């Protein structure tokens, strides 16, 4: 990891992140006027999060043993526990435990 790149990257990310948080405060009129922006901002985050889920799983094969089952079953258990309890830490904890057990059992 090239540290110069990292430091520049931090600066870049900092500005972009702040901008995304500041947008409604400083551009409230522009924001309210353009329906397209509202639509994008409302609809796009969910697909992005879902894509991130698959991205973070990385290279798994659904056709080779263990067929991605530890990941899929753990994700299902997170969905179930989170819709029931809506507790961030609990859900993550359940998911990681479930994955650890399944991973050890199946690999």
Partner 1 sequence: MQANLMFKTFKSALYETIPVIFGYIPLGMAFGLSFVKAGGTYYSAILMSIFVFAGAAQFVAIAVFVSQDSLSALAMTTLFINLRHIFYGISFVGKFPSDKFFKKFYMIYGLTDEAYSILTTTRHPKDDQFYFWVILISHIYWVLGTIIGTVAVRYIPYEMPFLQFSLTALFVVLAIEQAYTVKSIYPFIIAVFASLLGLLLFKSNMLLVSITISSVIIAYLYKRGYAL
Give the residues lining the site for partner 1 (CB under 8 A).
Answer: 1-3, 5-14, 16-18, 20-25, 28, 31, 36, 39-59, 71, 74-75, 78-79, 82-83, 88-89, 91-92, 95-96, 99-100, 103
Least distance from partner 1 to the Cβ atom of residue 26, Å: 9
As measured in angstroms, the least distance from the Cβ of 80 to partner 1 is: 10
Cβ(91)–Cβ(54) under 8 Å? no
Spatial neighbors of 23 by CB under 8 A, at least 6 apart, are 31
**In the complex, what is the shortest distance from the CB of residue 87 to partner 1, in angstroms, rounded to a whole number?**
8
* Chain center to CA of 89: 15
Cα–Cα distance measured from residue 50 to residue 71, given in angstroms and rounded to the nearest whole number = 14
């Amino acid at each position: 990891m090239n540290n110069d790149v990292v430091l520049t990257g931090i600066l870049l990310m900092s500005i972009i992140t702040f901008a995304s948080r500041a947008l409604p405060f400083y551009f409230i009129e522009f924001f309210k006027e353009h329906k397209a922006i509202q639509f994008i901002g409302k609809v796009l985050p969910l697909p992005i999060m879902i894509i991130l889920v698959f991205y973070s799983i990385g290279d798994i094969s659904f056709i080779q043993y263990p067929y991605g089952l530890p990941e899929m079953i753990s994700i299902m258990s997170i969905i179930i526990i989170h819709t029931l309890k809506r507790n961030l830490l609990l859900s993550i904890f359940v998911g990681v435990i479930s994955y650890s057990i399944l991973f050890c059992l199946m690999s």
